[in-house]
Amino acid sequence: MPAPSTIDLIGAPIEIGTSEPGAVMGPAALRTAGLLRVLRDLGFTVRDQGDLAPDCTPGQRDLPAIRAWMTEISRAVETALDGGSLPLVAGGDHSLSLGSIDGALRHCGRTGRPVFVLWLDAHADFNTLETSPSGNVHGMPLAALCGEPGFDDLFAGGERPLLDPRRIHLFGLRSIDAGERAIVTQRQVNVIDMRTIDEFGVVAPLRRILDRVAAANGHLHVSFDVDFLDPAIAPGVGTTVPGGATFREAHLIMEMLCDSGLVGSPRRGGVEPLPRRARAQRPGTRRAGGEPVRPPHHRPADRAAAGGVSDLGRCPHAPRRQPILSCQ
């Protein structure tokens, strides 16, 4: 299946799933940083669909508000996919993945393609209502999408498609709660933690994931939370965890995703653009965000010419990591 040449940029200024303020400014910050120009310079037709505005009052954080947001996001993603476009959802806190992946599941349910999820994140986000220490929805989207009990009211009425946990790949994991760990193991979620990446790099494990998706003619949803990156280069998030990916590692991942032609619905979130932190991270996160859809002929032969791609190595202060879970 040929990769779409049109991108629908969908703003989701949502922070309903977190107690930390700031994520609501994420879509505006990404636009201000030049994300649309970067994508257009790469040869894509970009249709900015604006920001979603569900029928709830600003600051409303109850169940009806969450359901309204998830319904709007799901519908926008499903509509873009039905029209042959690539939906790029810009958030916003990570609870928005409830809607974006639900939209992909609904679309693929009609086309008969299995949905795979590449979860580039410091956290598993597989907590349930019983295991979550904070109660924040942004730490629960994968559990909800896989059908764990207690989440049905978050979605629009009627039967909904469920995500197969065995098709989830947690990539770059380095923080997980105890109860969450047990569920991830029981549900046979695939885990590539940062200890594994330290030892084997990103290429081999990512290649296995892409080969699996291609063999199944699958739809790959990529969720990129900025806390996947080390906070030394991306401090503008609310849940920083030391020892994350370098810019070079993230850039290589994005190039491999682009080359694969498998990405069907990327999502980018976790940005909290408070002034000091936003200034510190803007160039790097903007460049990384454009790479999943960068055609190979746009890639410079000398990576040093690509705005500092080659001048970042493993952060010297990053602690030695212990395995989170066995690599599956």
pLDDT at site 20: 64
* Phi–psi pair at 253, nearest 5 degrees: -60, -45
- Exposure pattern of 271-288 as b/e (b: 16+ CB <10 Å)? bbbeeebbebbbebbbbb
Beta-bridge mates of residue 120: 171, 224
In a domain, 117, yes or no: yes
In a domain, 317, yes or no: no
Residue range 22-51: average pLDDT? 91
In a domain, 256, yes or no: yes
CA angle 14, 132, 150 (to 5 degrees): 80
**Given strand 86-91, what is the order of strands in its sheet?**
45-51, 6-12, 86-91, 263-269, 219-225, 115-120, 168-173, 190-193
202 has a pLDDT exceeding 50 = yes
pLDDT at site 155: 83
Residue range 252-263: average pLDDT? 95
In a domain, 320, yes or no: no
In a domain, 176, yes or no: yes
The number of folded domains in the chain is 1
Q: Report the CATH number that the domain containing residue 21 is assigned in CATH.
A: 3.40.800.10
pLDDT at site 248: 96
CB atoms within 10 A of CB 224: 27
In a domain, 166, yes or no: yes
In this prediction, residue 325 has a pLDDT band, given cuts at 50, 70 and 90, of: very low
183 has a pLDDT exceeding 90 = yes
In this prediction, residue 319 has a pLDDT band, given cuts at 50, 70 and 90, of: very low
In a domain, 315, yes or no: no
Per the structure, the complete domain to which residue 103 belongs is given by 6-305
Considering only CA atoms, which of 265, 281, 184 is closest in space to residue 227? 281
> Average model confidence (pLDDT) for the chain?
81
118 has a pLDDT exceeding 70 = yes
Considering only CA atoms, which of 224, 251, 266 is closest in space to residue 307? 251
Residue located via tokens 């010297």: 316
> Whole-model pTM above 0.85?
no
Which residues are CB-neighbours of 278 under 8 A, at least 6 positions away?
A: 29, 236
Which residues are CB-neighbours of 58 under 8 A, at least 6 positions away?
A: none
In a domain, 243, yes or no: yes
DSSP class per residue in 113-129: --EEEEEESSB-----T
